[in-house]
Amino acid sequence: MNLVDIDDLTREQLHDVLDLAAEIKAGERGDSPLADQTLAMIFEKPSTRTRVSFETGMTQLGGHAIFLGPDDIHLGKGEPIKDTARAVSRYADFIMARLFDHADIVELAEYGTVPVVNGLTDDAHPCQTLADLLTIREQFGGFDVDVAWVGDGNNVCQSFVLGAAMTDIDLTVATPEGYEIDESVRNRAAGLGNQPAETNDPGAAIAGADIVYTDVWVSMGQEDRREQKLRDFDGFQLTTGLVDDQPVMHCLPAHRGEEITDELLESDNAIVWDQAENRLHAQNGLLVWLSEQ
């Protein structure tokens, strides 16, 4: 079983992972469920939360994590991804990878013989969605909420769209024209029974929402599109004026002064630190759950 995107899980499995995460967070599971197990962590892109939360999580669960940065292994350079997948699977009990091309995590998962977890690609960020759902459930006691996504229809947005579809969250996605979610994601959400509403008007999305969620406009690897994107996203910045006193989520890192103001991020509306903490708990739940499959 792999987690290439959040809809690799069934609805029931998603709730099981979240329940297990909550149990582990509450200290209700025994010590060292992953004793003697190793997580190989492959990173083509930088990371603060994903790297530290997975590595800390493995320590908490009684196992061990190995950090493999872009210059540490042969992945995609000295040897094909499928060879890395098969070799690393002979040593480690899990592989987590943060890669550029989504096709590469699909290949890693296809050839890996241990669970492969997507730690972010250009198209998806399912571990972020697990943490987001855990956070929303904690804050609202369930998923009967209206969420407004304001910004880029990017990797974080796309996995959240699918996670929202699987939990019946009422989601409105507001992007500038040309930055909408992929058609394939829209179709998958529809197949899960809950396609998001879409608009190019951030104010309309925010009106009546229980939560407002944003992410950077310039994702890792898009630096050469920066000037164009800053122009195209004019009017989409979350400010204390635009947000109507709702809780604000952000997967972080935040680019203050671009998608969100420093004032709003530092305000009591921002629940971003609880959200960031939940990366650890959600992933602990995921890893233990995967080990039991």
**Residues with active-site annotation:** 98, 125, 128, 215, 251, 279
The structure tokens listed for 56 are 């800390």
Q: CA 171 → CA 165, 195, 210, distances in Å? A: 8, 8, 10
Shortest CB 151 distance to ligand CP, Å: 14
Shortest CB 275 distance to ligand CP, Å: 9
Identify what 159 binds: ligand NVA, ligand CP, none; CB under 5 to 8 Å per kind. none
Number of residues forming the site for ligand CP (CB under 6 A): 9
The interface mask with ligand NVA, positions 137-156, x = CB under 6 A, is -----------------xxx
Segment interacting with ligand CP, rule: CB under 6 A, options 13-21, 48-56, 182-190, 260-268: 48-56
What is the Cα–Cα distance from 52 to 54, expressed in whole angstroms? 6
Segment interacting with ligand NVA, rule: CB under 6 A, options 132-140, 212-220, 234-242, 282-290: 212-220
Segment interacting with ligand CP, rule: CB under 6 A, options 16-24, 46-54, 62-70, 135-143: 46-54
Nearer to ligand NVA, 64 or 255 (CB): 255
Out of 14, 145, 206, 251, the residue judged to bind ligand CP by CB under 6 A: 251
- The residue among 164, 227, 234, 162 whose CA lies nearest residue 202 is 234
The structure tokens listed for 134 are 């855990």
The interface mask with ligand NVA, positions 102-131, x = CB under 6 A, is ------------------x-----------
What is the Cα–Cα distance from 11 to 17, expressed in whole angstroms? 10
What is the Cα–Cα distance from 263 to 69, expressed in whole angstroms? 34
Out of 133, 251, 270, 288, the residue judged to bind ligand NVA by CB under 6 A: 251
CA–centroid distance for 120 within its chain: 7
Helices (H), the chain: 11-25, 49-60, 81-89, 102-111, 126-140, 155-167, 183-191, 202-206, 226-232, 262-265, 272-291
What is the Cα–Cα distance from 114 to 132, expressed in whole angstroms? 25
Out of 105, 147, 216, 265, the residue judged to bind ligand NVA by CB under 6 A: 216
**Tokens 């940065």 correspond to what residue?**
69
Shortest CB 249 distance to ligand CP, Å: 11
- 12: Cβ contacts below 8 Å, ≥ 6 apart: none
Collapsing DSSP to helix, strand or coil, 47 comes out as coil
Identify what 216 binds: ligand CP, ligand NVA, none; CB under 5 to 8 Å per kind. ligand NVA
What is the Cα–Cα distance from 143 to 136, expressed in whole angstroms? 7
Out of 168, 252, 255, 277, the residue judged to bind ligand CP by CB under 6 A: 252
Shortest CB 58 distance to ligand NVA, Å: 20
Shortest CB 165 distance to ligand NVA, Å: 19
Q: Which residue is nearest to ligand NVA (CB)?
A: 219
Helix-strand-coil split of the chain, %, nearest 5: 45, 15, 40
Q: How does DSSP classify residue 270?
A: B
Shortest CB 86 distance to ligand CP, Å: 26
Q: Which residues are at the interface with ligand CP (CB under 6 A)?
A: 47-50, 120, 128, 251-253
Q: Which residues are at the interface with ligand NVA (CB under 6 A)?
A: 120, 154-156, 215-216, 219-220, 251
